[in-house]
Chains A and B, each alone.
Chain A
Protein backbone atom coordinates (compact mmCIF):
# COMPACT_ATOMS: atom_id res chain seq x y z
CA UNK A 1 0.00 0.00 0.00
CA UNK A 2 1.11 3.55 -0.52
CA UNK A 3 2.96 5.15 2.34
CA UNK A 4 4.05 1.84 3.91
CA UNK A 5 7.76 1.88 4.67
CA UNK A 6 9.18 -1.60 4.05
CA UNK A 7 11.31 -3.19 6.71
CA UNK A 8 14.93 -3.74 5.83
CA UNK A 9 16.01 -7.37 5.88
CA UNK A 10 18.63 -8.09 8.52
CA UNK A 11 20.35 -11.47 8.43
CA UNK A 12 22.29 -11.71 11.68
CA UNK A 13 20.44 -9.45 14.04
CA UNK A 14 21.03 -9.58 17.77
CA UNK A 15 18.81 -9.96 20.81
CA UNK A 16 19.54 -7.31 23.43
CA UNK A 17 18.75 -7.79 27.13
CA UNK A 18 18.10 -5.45 30.02
CA UNK A 19 17.40 -7.82 32.86
CA UNK A 20 18.58 -9.28 36.15
CA UNK A 21 21.72 -11.38 36.46
CA UNK A 22 20.12 -14.82 36.27
CA UNK A 23 18.07 -13.99 33.20
CA UNK A 24 21.07 -12.53 31.39
CA UNK A 25 23.23 -15.49 32.44
CA UNK A 26 20.67 -17.91 31.09
CA UNK A 27 20.36 -16.20 27.74
CA UNK A 28 24.14 -15.90 27.45
CA UNK A 29 24.25 -19.66 27.94
CA UNK A 30 21.87 -19.89 24.99
CA UNK A 31 24.45 -18.11 22.82
CA UNK A 32 22.92 -14.67 22.58
CA UNK A 33 25.85 -12.68 23.98
CA UNK A 34 27.74 -10.37 21.67
CA UNK A 35 30.72 -8.08 22.27
CA UNK A 36 31.74 -5.89 19.36
CA UNK A 37 35.10 -4.32 18.52
CA UNK A 38 34.28 -1.30 20.68
CA UNK A 39 33.71 -3.66 23.62
CA UNK A 40 30.03 -2.80 23.58
CA UNK A 41 27.78 -5.60 24.71
CA UNK A 42 24.19 -6.38 23.82
CA UNK A 43 23.21 -6.90 27.44
CA UNK A 44 22.93 -4.85 30.60
CA UNK A 45 22.62 -6.51 34.01
CA UNK A 46 20.29 -4.61 36.32
CA UNK A 47 20.79 -4.90 40.06
CA UNK A 48 19.89 -2.75 43.05
CA UNK A 49 22.82 -0.42 42.30
CA UNK A 50 21.79 0.29 38.72
CA UNK A 51 20.39 3.78 38.27
CA UNK A 52 17.32 4.69 36.26
CA UNK A 53 19.51 6.90 34.06
CA UNK A 54 21.71 3.92 33.19
CA UNK A 55 18.65 1.87 32.26
CA UNK A 56 17.29 4.71 30.13
CA UNK A 57 20.62 5.10 28.35
CA UNK A 58 20.80 1.37 27.68
CA UNK A 59 17.23 1.32 26.34
CA UNK A 60 17.88 4.29 24.06
CA UNK A 61 21.13 2.79 22.84
CA UNK A 62 19.64 -0.63 22.06
CA UNK A 63 16.60 0.81 20.30
CA UNK A 64 18.81 3.04 18.17
CA UNK A 65 21.15 0.25 17.03
CA UNK A 66 20.38 -1.20 13.63
CA UNK A 67 21.87 -4.62 14.37
CA UNK A 68 19.41 -5.36 17.20
CA UNK A 69 16.06 -6.92 16.33
CA UNK A 70 14.56 -7.69 19.73
CA UNK A 71 15.11 -5.98 23.07
CA UNK A 72 14.21 -8.14 26.06
CA UNK A 73 13.48 -6.15 29.17
CA UNK A 74 12.32 -7.47 32.52
CA UNK A 75 8.93 -6.03 33.28
CA UNK A 76 9.98 -4.59 36.64
CA UNK A 77 12.85 -2.79 34.86
CA UNK A 78 10.44 -1.57 32.18
CA UNK A 79 8.24 -0.14 34.93
CA UNK A 80 11.16 2.09 35.97
CA UNK A 81 11.25 3.64 32.50
CA UNK A 82 7.59 3.11 31.64
CA UNK A 83 7.16 6.47 29.93
CA UNK A 84 10.04 5.67 27.60
CA UNK A 85 8.82 2.13 26.82
CA UNK A 86 5.23 3.25 26.21
CA UNK A 87 6.28 6.05 23.89
CA UNK A 88 8.34 3.66 21.76
CA UNK A 89 6.43 2.69 18.62
CA UNK A 90 8.92 1.40 16.03
CA UNK A 91 8.38 -2.10 14.64
CA UNK A 92 12.09 -3.03 14.87
CA UNK A 93 13.62 -3.61 17.32
CA UNK A 94 10.63 -5.20 19.00
CA UNK A 95 10.40 -4.56 22.74
CA UNK A 96 9.33 -7.61 24.72
CA UNK A 97 8.65 -7.42 28.41
CA UNK A 98 9.52 -10.63 30.22
CA UNK A 99 8.99 -11.77 33.79
CA UNK A 100 11.78 -11.97 36.31
CA UNK A 101 12.36 -14.30 39.25
CA UNK A 102 11.00 -11.98 41.91
CA UNK A 103 8.44 -10.20 39.74
CA UNK A 104 5.94 -12.33 37.82
CA UNK A 105 4.51 -11.05 34.58
CA UNK A 106 1.58 -8.65 34.87
CA UNK A 107 -0.39 -8.17 31.63
CA UNK A 108 -1.84 -4.90 32.92
CA UNK A 109 1.59 -3.27 32.75
CA UNK A 110 2.64 -4.61 29.34
CA UNK A 111 2.96 -1.66 26.96
CA UNK A 112 1.68 -3.56 23.93
CA UNK A 113 -1.31 -5.07 25.73
CA UNK A 114 -2.23 -1.75 27.32
CA UNK A 115 -2.16 -0.18 23.86
CA UNK A 116 -4.73 -2.62 22.51
CA UNK A 117 -6.74 -3.35 25.64
CA UNK A 118 -8.83 -0.18 25.41
CA UNK A 119 -10.93 -2.07 22.88
CA UNK A 120 -12.16 -4.23 25.75
CA UNK A 121 -12.88 -1.52 28.29
CA UNK A 122 -14.12 2.04 28.21
CA UNK A 123 -11.12 3.35 30.12
CA UNK A 124 -7.56 2.66 29.09
CA UNK A 125 -5.26 0.69 31.35
CA UNK A 126 -2.80 3.57 31.29
CA UNK A 127 -5.36 5.87 32.82
CA UNK A 128 -5.98 3.26 35.55
CA UNK A 129 -2.25 3.20 36.30
CA UNK A 130 -2.24 6.96 36.60
Chain B
Protein backbone atom coordinates (compact mmCIF):
# COMPACT_ATOMS: atom_id res chain seq x y z
CA UNK B 1 0.00 0.00 0.00
CA UNK B 2 1.51 3.33 -1.03
CA UNK B 3 0.27 5.21 2.07
CA UNK B 4 1.77 2.63 4.29
CA UNK B 5 5.03 2.88 2.46
CA UNK B 6 5.07 6.63 3.00
CA UNK B 7 4.95 6.22 6.73
CA UNK B 8 8.43 6.92 7.86
CA UNK B 9 9.46 6.08 11.37
CA UNK B 10 10.43 9.09 13.51
CA UNK B 11 14.20 9.27 13.83
CA UNK B 12 15.44 8.33 17.23
CA UNK B 13 18.20 10.88 17.52
CA UNK B 14 16.07 13.20 19.67
CA UNK B 15 14.97 10.37 21.90
CA UNK B 16 18.55 9.31 22.37
CA UNK B 17 19.49 12.82 23.31
CA UNK B 18 16.57 13.03 25.71
CA UNK B 19 17.50 9.74 27.30
CA UNK B 20 21.07 10.89 27.59
CA UNK B 21 19.93 14.13 29.18
CA UNK B 22 17.68 12.25 31.54
CA UNK B 23 20.51 9.91 32.45
CA UNK B 24 22.80 12.83 33.08
CA UNK B 25 20.14 14.50 35.18
CA UNK B 26 19.61 11.36 37.21
CA UNK B 27 23.32 10.97 37.65
CA UNK B 28 23.58 14.58 38.74
CA UNK B 29 20.73 14.11 41.16
CA UNK B 30 22.30 10.89 42.34
CA UNK B 31 25.63 12.55 42.95
CA UNK B 32 23.93 15.47 44.66
CA UNK B 33 21.93 13.11 46.87
CA UNK B 34 24.92 11.15 48.14
CA UNK B 35 26.84 13.89 49.98
CA UNK B 36 23.53 15.43 51.14
CA UNK B 37 22.39 12.10 52.51
CA UNK B 38 25.74 11.59 54.22
CA UNK B 39 25.59 15.03 55.82
CA UNK B 40 22.00 14.43 56.98
CA UNK B 41 22.99 11.11 58.52
CA UNK B 42 25.95 12.74 60.26
CA UNK B 43 23.73 15.50 61.59
CA UNK B 44 21.13 12.98 62.79
CA UNK B 45 23.83 11.05 64.58
CA UNK B 46 25.03 14.20 66.32
CA UNK B 47 21.49 15.15 67.26
CA UNK B 48 20.93 11.71 68.78
CA UNK B 49 24.21 11.91 70.66
CA UNK B 50 23.26 15.32 72.05
CA UNK B 51 19.78 14.18 73.06
CA UNK B 52 21.19 11.07 74.76
CA UNK B 53 23.64 13.12 76.79
CA UNK B 54 20.89 15.64 77.62
CA UNK B 55 18.64 12.84 78.85
CA UNK B 56 21.46 11.29 80.88
CA UNK B 57 22.09 14.66 82.55
CA UNK B 58 18.43 15.08 83.51
CA UNK B 59 18.23 11.53 84.89
CA UNK B 60 21.35 12.12 86.98
CA UNK B 61 19.93 15.36 88.37
CA UNK B 62 16.86 13.46 89.49
CA UNK B 63 19.01 10.76 91.07
CA UNK B 64 21.13 13.38 92.83
CA UNK B 65 18.03 15.12 94.16
CA UNK B 66 16.76 11.90 95.73
CA UNK B 67 20.19 11.09 97.26
CA UNK B 68 20.39 14.59 98.72
CA UNK B 69 16.85 14.41 100.10
CA UNK B 70 17.73 11.13 101.80
CA UNK B 71 20.90 12.67 103.22
CA UNK B 72 19.08 15.77 104.53
CA UNK B 73 16.42 13.64 106.18
CA UNK B 74 19.00 11.45 107.91
CA UNK B 75 20.94 14.53 108.98
CA UNK B 76 17.76 15.99 110.46
CA UNK B 77 17.14 12.71 112.32
CA UNK B 78 20.70 12.74 113.65
CA UNK B 79 20.30 16.36 114.74
CA UNK B 80 17.07 15.41 116.50
CA UNK B 81 18.72 12.58 118.43
CA UNK B 82 22.07 14.23 119.14
CA UNK B 83 20.92 17.80 119.58
CA UNK B 84 21.19 20.75 117.22
CA UNK B 85 24.29 22.11 118.94
CA UNK B 86 26.21 18.92 118.16
CA UNK B 87 25.53 19.11 114.44
CA UNK B 88 26.16 22.63 113.29
CA UNK B 89 28.67 24.58 111.28
CA UNK B 90 30.11 26.05 114.49
CA UNK B 91 31.94 22.76 114.98
CA UNK B 92 33.91 23.16 111.76
CA UNK B 93 37.34 24.20 112.91
CA UNK B 94 39.76 25.72 110.47
CA UNK B 95 42.62 23.41 111.27
CA UNK B 96 44.77 22.57 108.31
CA UNK B 97 43.60 19.33 106.74
CA UNK B 98 43.47 17.94 103.25
CA UNK B 99 40.39 16.48 101.66
CA UNK B 100 40.09 12.71 101.88
CA UNK B 101 37.81 12.58 98.84
CA UNK B 102 39.28 14.15 95.74
CA UNK B 103 38.92 14.12 91.98
CA UNK B 104 41.17 13.27 89.10
CA UNK B 105 40.70 15.42 86.01
CA UNK B 106 41.91 14.22 82.64
CA UNK B 107 41.39 15.31 79.08
CA UNK B 108 39.03 13.33 76.90
CA UNK B 109 40.72 10.78 74.65
CA UNK B 110 38.59 11.88 71.68
CA UNK B 111 40.93 14.02 69.60
CA UNK B 112 38.23 14.81 67.04
CA UNK B 113 36.53 17.22 69.43
CA UNK B 114 37.15 20.88 68.84
CA UNK B 115 36.21 21.86 72.40
CA UNK B 116 38.00 20.67 75.55
CA UNK B 117 36.15 17.80 77.17
CA UNK B 118 37.31 17.06 80.72
CA UNK B 119 36.71 13.72 82.38
CA UNK B 120 36.33 13.48 86.16
CA UNK B 121 37.12 10.43 88.29
CA UNK B 122 36.17 10.30 91.96
CA UNK B 123 38.69 9.08 94.50
CA UNK B 124 36.72 8.42 97.70
CA UNK B 125 38.66 8.39 100.96
CA UNK B 126 41.94 8.39 99.09
CA UNK B 127 41.21 5.16 97.20
CA UNK B 128 40.12 4.30 93.65
CA UNK B 129 36.36 4.53 93.71
CA UNK B 130 35.40 1.79 91.28
CA UNK B 131 37.39 -1.10 92.67
CA UNK B 132 37.65 -0.55 96.38
CA UNK B 133 34.21 0.72 97.25
CA UNK B 134 32.53 -2.35 95.82
CA UNK B 135 35.06 -4.70 97.44
CA UNK B 136 34.80 -2.89 100.72
CA UNK B 137 31.01 -3.15 100.72
CA UNK B 138 31.30 -6.89 100.02
CA UNK B 139 33.85 -7.32 102.79
CA UNK B 140 31.65 -5.45 105.25
CA UNK B 141 28.63 -7.50 104.33
CA UNK B 142 30.64 -10.72 104.51
CA UNK B 143 31.94 -9.85 107.95
CA UNK B 144 28.42 -9.18 109.18
CA UNK B 145 27.08 -12.38 107.69
CA UNK B 146 29.88 -14.53 109.06
CA UNK B 147 28.96 -13.61 112.60
CA UNK B 148 25.43 -14.85 112.20
CA UNK B 149 25.50 -18.49 111.13
CA UNK B 150 27.86 -21.26 110.09
CA UNK B 151 26.40 -21.59 106.61
CA UNK B 152 26.82 -17.93 106.01
CA UNK B 153 30.28 -18.02 107.47
CA UNK B 154 31.10 -20.82 105.06
CA UNK B 155 29.67 -18.78 102.20
CA UNK B 156 31.64 -15.73 103.29
CA UNK B 157 34.83 -17.75 103.56
CA UNK B 158 34.14 -19.24 100.12
CA UNK B 159 33.72 -15.78 98.70
CA UNK B 160 36.87 -14.71 100.50
CA UNK B 161 38.64 -17.71 99.04
CA UNK B 162 37.50 -16.82 95.55
CA UNK B 163 38.69 -13.31 96.04
CA UNK B 164 42.09 -14.51 97.12
CA UNK B 165 42.33 -16.61 94.00
CA UNK B 166 41.21 -13.80 91.77
CA UNK B 167 43.57 -11.21 93.23
CA UNK B 168 47.22 -11.90 92.77
CA UNK B 169 48.21 -9.65 95.67
CA UNK B 170 45.93 -11.47 98.12
CA UNK B 171 43.44 -10.27 100.72
CA UNK B 172 45.76 -8.21 102.90
CA UNK B 173 45.89 -5.00 100.89
CA UNK B 174 42.10 -5.04 100.40
CA UNK B 175 41.48 -5.32 104.12
CA UNK B 176 44.00 -2.58 104.74
CA UNK B 177 42.17 -0.45 102.13
CA UNK B 178 38.95 -1.12 103.97
CA UNK B 179 40.54 -0.21 107.30
CA UNK B 180 41.98 3.00 105.87
CA UNK B 181 38.59 3.93 104.48
CA UNK B 182 36.94 3.22 107.83
CA UNK B 183 39.57 5.37 109.54
CA UNK B 184 38.94 8.27 107.21
CA UNK B 185 35.19 7.93 107.67
CA UNK B 186 35.64 7.90 111.44
CA UNK B 187 37.76 11.06 111.22
CA UNK B 188 34.97 12.87 109.40
CA UNK B 189 32.44 11.71 111.97
CA UNK B 190 34.74 12.63 114.87
CA UNK B 191 34.12 16.32 114.17
CA UNK B 192 30.69 15.79 115.73
CA UNK B 193 31.93 13.92 118.78
CA UNK B 194 33.04 10.41 119.69
CA UNK B 195 29.59 8.84 120.02
CA UNK B 196 27.47 9.74 117.04
CA UNK B 197 24.01 8.70 116.04
CA UNK B 198 23.72 5.82 113.52
CA UNK B 199 21.64 8.23 111.45
CA UNK B 200 24.72 10.40 111.03
CA UNK B 201 26.57 7.40 109.59
CA UNK B 202 23.77 6.70 107.16
CA UNK B 203 23.70 10.38 106.24
CA UNK B 204 27.41 10.08 105.49
CA UNK B 205 26.82 7.21 103.08
CA UNK B 206 23.91 9.08 101.43
CA UNK B 207 26.14 12.05 100.77
CA UNK B 208 28.84 9.73 99.45
CA UNK B 209 26.26 8.43 96.98
CA UNK B 210 25.37 12.02 96.12
CA UNK B 211 29.05 12.68 95.43
CA UNK B 212 29.16 9.80 92.96
CA UNK B 213 26.12 11.23 91.17
CA UNK B 214 27.77 14.63 91.07
CA UNK B 215 30.86 13.26 89.37
CA UNK B 216 28.68 11.41 86.87
CA UNK B 217 26.77 14.64 86.31
CA UNK B 218 29.99 16.53 85.67
CA UNK B 219 30.99 13.96 83.04
CA UNK B 220 27.52 14.02 81.49
CA UNK B 221 27.63 17.82 81.44
CA UNK B 222 30.91 17.94 79.56
CA UNK B 223 29.66 15.27 77.12
CA UNK B 224 26.46 17.25 76.55
CA UNK B 225 28.28 20.53 75.95
CA UNK B 226 30.71 18.81 73.60
CA UNK B 227 27.84 17.20 71.63
CA UNK B 228 26.04 20.56 71.54
CA UNK B 229 29.11 22.31 70.13
CA UNK B 230 29.54 19.67 67.44
CA UNK B 231 25.88 19.98 66.52
CA UNK B 232 26.13 23.75 66.30
CA UNK B 233 29.11 23.44 63.96
CA UNK B 234 27.25 20.91 61.83
CA UNK B 235 24.17 23.10 61.55
CA UNK B 236 26.26 26.15 60.76
CA UNK B 237 28.14 24.23 58.08
CA UNK B 238 24.95 23.05 56.40
CA UNK B 239 23.47 26.56 56.51
CA UNK B 240 26.59 27.93 54.80
CA UNK B 241 26.40 25.31 52.02
CA UNK B 242 22.69 26.06 51.38
CA UNK B 243 23.47 29.76 51.15
CA UNK B 244 26.23 29.06 48.63
CA UNK B 245 23.87 26.91 46.57
CA UNK B 246 21.19 29.62 46.44
CA UNK B 247 23.80 32.18 45.35
| Interfacial residues, chain A to chain B (CB-CB below 8 A) | 1, 3-15, 21-37, 39, 41-42, 45, 69-70, 72, 91-92, 94, 96, 98-99, 101, 104-105, 107, 112-113, 115-116, 119
Contact = CB atoms under 8 A, between A and B. Distances in A.
Contact of A94 (B64, B107, B124, B222): B222
Contacts of B221: 94, 96, 112
Contacts, number: 175
Query: Chain B: interface secondary structure?
Result: helix
Q: How large is the interface on B (under 10, 10 to 19, 20 to 34, 35 or more residues)?
A: 35 or more
Contact of B218 (A96, A99, A104): A96
B177 interface: no
Contacts of A21: 88-89
25 contacts: A4-B113, A6-B116, A7-B116, A9-B106, A11-B102, A12-B98, A21-B88, A27-B210, A28-B92, A29-B188, A30-B208, A30-B210, A30-B211, A33-B188, A69-B118, A70-B218, A72-B214, A92-B116, A96-B218, A98-B64, A98-B214, A99-B64, A101-B72, A107-B61, A115-B228
A91 B225 CA distance: 9
Interface stretch (B11-19, B25-33, B157-165, B199-207): B199-207
A121 to B, nearest CB: 14
Interface of B: 50, 54, 57-58, 61, 64-65, 68, 71-72, 75-76, 87-89, 92, 94-108, 111-118, 120, 123-125, 184-185, 188-189, 191, 200, 203-204, 206-208, 210-211, 214-215, 217-218, 221-222, 224-225, 228, 231
